[in-house]
């Protein structure tokens, strides 16, 4: 990405037909998985669902969403704006290792800390409200780096003086800070041009338009998605792979789910709340990587160079599907050593795996709902397991995969694929 290139100018397909955004996610991801020869077999799904790893942890781990904040917001719109910006910046997975090296935290925890810091700065008497449209438009890379507490310089030997090093802008943290800055600047520019004081105000209008479309029911998700995705480049998570369109919209779906989690209970009528339990999963690098390691995504004959990206990934499948050695808190303590970096993929390869994960999770929920009692009995599982499996939602399986990746020490050591220079995950 050059300095003059906007975030929105990457090779992308046209938007889905109006009113068919959710359907287009499902159909395009299924079609891309099939054309890429990634296999998802019912037997592999049943093996996961009936495994001690899954049945012993699902009810505990699948409710860990990481959206509780130590903040008292001045208004519902202020909180909505906070969630919207958190969702917009919910990327940086490709910088997990350098983030751990500098901060001791992974991508999500760093992004959450950044947005918290920006919010606190704007409410503590500072003249700069970086979470407003105007603040987003003018925020600098230096401010982002300071708020994240990361160094955007690298050291190199001095050309003329032996033993002396000089610092210059560069390295992975500089690249990430530039991506964050450009995303905020571009979004702020769009909001100002369209007359919105904040991203939250824009999202609120989209929610109200979804409510109008529903004519009495919960807001129509397709209406909301279309308005958000079409207007804000940072939410345009779609690509052409071999000329085939694929739509993921991970961050926009995450935002809608966050809205329901934060505003769906209690008496806060000012924010129309969509129903999100049946929406496609928010596919990043964690979900597909975990589904490969847990034997659901079979890459053995996959195209596009994907058949060998996770070498020997089935070697420890029995151990991975067994019960964890010792349960730990869902918000995992950091391992003693740094996480392992996984294979570095191309943009197209990453979209293929992310699409495959979206399609696989649809199949997982379908199988969970159709398991017969005798299948559970064959592995000595109580009928109570069938009760909660039949109620499992797509968002439940999304949260389980995301959270269990941190919940077990052996899972935390599993390599996840990596893609840098993207703002989509």
Q: Has residue 215 been placed in a domain?
A: yes
pTM value is: 0.92
pLDDT at position 335: 47
At 283-312, the pLDDT tens digits run: 999 999 999 999 999 999 999 999 999 976
Q: Has residue 109 been placed in a domain?
A: yes
What six digits make up the tokens of 384? 């109570």
**Helices 394-407 & 52-61, crossing angle to 10 degrees?**
100
Q: How would DSSP label each residue in 50-112?
A: TSHHHHHHHHHHTT------S---SSHHHHHHHHHHHHHT---GGGHHHHHHHHS--HHHHHH
pLDDT at position 212: 95
Q: Has residue 190 been placed in a domain?
A: yes
Domain count of the chain? 1
Share of the chain above pLDDT 90, in %: 73
Range of the domain at 260: 17-156+166-418
Residue 324 vs residue 266, higher pLDDT: 324
DSSP alpha helix (H) spans, 215-249: 221-231
Q: Has residue 9 been placed in a domain?
A: no
Q: E-strand spans in 158-276?
A: 165-169, 238-241, 244-247
At 325-335, the pLDDT tens digits run: 754 444 444 44
Q: Has residue 2 been placed in a domain?
A: no
At 111-145, the pLDDT tens digits run: 999 999 999 988 876 678 999 999 999 999 999 99
Q: Has residue 178 been placed in a domain?
A: yes
Secondary structure letter of residue 201 according to DSSP? H
At 218-230, the pLDDT tens digits run: 899 999 999 999 9
Q: Has residue 272 been placed in a domain?
A: yes
Question: Are β-strands 165-169 and 153-157 bridged in parallel, bridged antiparallel, or unpaired?
Answer: antiparallel
Q: Has residue 24 been placed in a domain?
A: yes
């Amino acid at each position: 990405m050059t300095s003059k290139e906007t975030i929105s100018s990457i090779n992308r397909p046209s938007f889905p037909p109006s009113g068919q955004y959710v359907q287009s996610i499902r159909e395009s991801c299924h079609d891309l998985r099939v054309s890429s020869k990634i296999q998802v077999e019912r037997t592999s799904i049943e093996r996961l669902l009936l495994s001690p790893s899954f049945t012993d942890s699902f009810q505990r781990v699948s409710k860990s969403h990481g959206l509780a904040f130590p903040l008292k917001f001045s208004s519902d719109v202020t909180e909505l704006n906070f969630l919207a910006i958190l969702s917009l910046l919910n990327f940086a997975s490709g910088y997990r290792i350098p983030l751990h090296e500098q901060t001791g935290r992974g991508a999500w925890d760093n992004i959450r800390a950044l947005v918290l810091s920006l919010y606190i700065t704007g409410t503590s008497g500072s003249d700069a409200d970086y979470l407003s449209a105007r603040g987003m438009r003018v925020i600098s890379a230096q401010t982002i780096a300071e708020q994240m507490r990361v160094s955007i310089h690298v050291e190199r030997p001095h050309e003329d003086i032996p033993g002396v090093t000089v610092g210059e802008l560069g390295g992975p943290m500089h690249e990430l800070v530039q991506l964050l800055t450009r995303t905020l600047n571009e979004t702020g520019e769009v909001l100002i041009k369209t007359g919105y004081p904040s991203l939250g105000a824009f999202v609120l209008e989209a929610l109200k338009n979804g409510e109008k479309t529903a004519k009495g029911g919960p807001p129509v998700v397709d209406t909301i998605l279309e308005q958000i995705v079409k207007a804000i480049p940072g939410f345009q998570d779609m690509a052409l792979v071999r000329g085939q369109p694929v739509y993921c919209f991970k961050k926009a779906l995450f935002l809608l789910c966050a809205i329901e989690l934060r505003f769906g209970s209690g008496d806060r009528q000012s924010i129309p709340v969509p129903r999100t339990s049946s929406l496609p999963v928010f596919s990043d690098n964690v979900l597909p990587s975990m589904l490969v390691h847990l034997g659901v995504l079979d890459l053995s004959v996959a195209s596009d160079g994907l058949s060998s990206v996770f070498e020997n990934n089935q070697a420890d499948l029995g151990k991975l599907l067994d019960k964890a050695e010792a349960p730990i808190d869902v918000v995992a303590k950091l391992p003693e050593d740094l996480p392992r970096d996984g294979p570095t993929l191309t943009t197209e390869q990453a979209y293929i795996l992310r699409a495959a994960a979206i399609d696989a999770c649809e199949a997982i929920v379908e199988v969970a709902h159709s398991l017969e009692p005798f299948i559970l009995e064959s592995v000595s599982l109580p009928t109570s397991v069938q009760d909660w499996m039949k109620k499992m939602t797509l968002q439940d399986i999304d949260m389980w995969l995301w959270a269990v990746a941190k919940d077990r020490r052996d899972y935390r050591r599993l390599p996840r694929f990596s893609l840098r220079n993207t703002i989509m995950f």
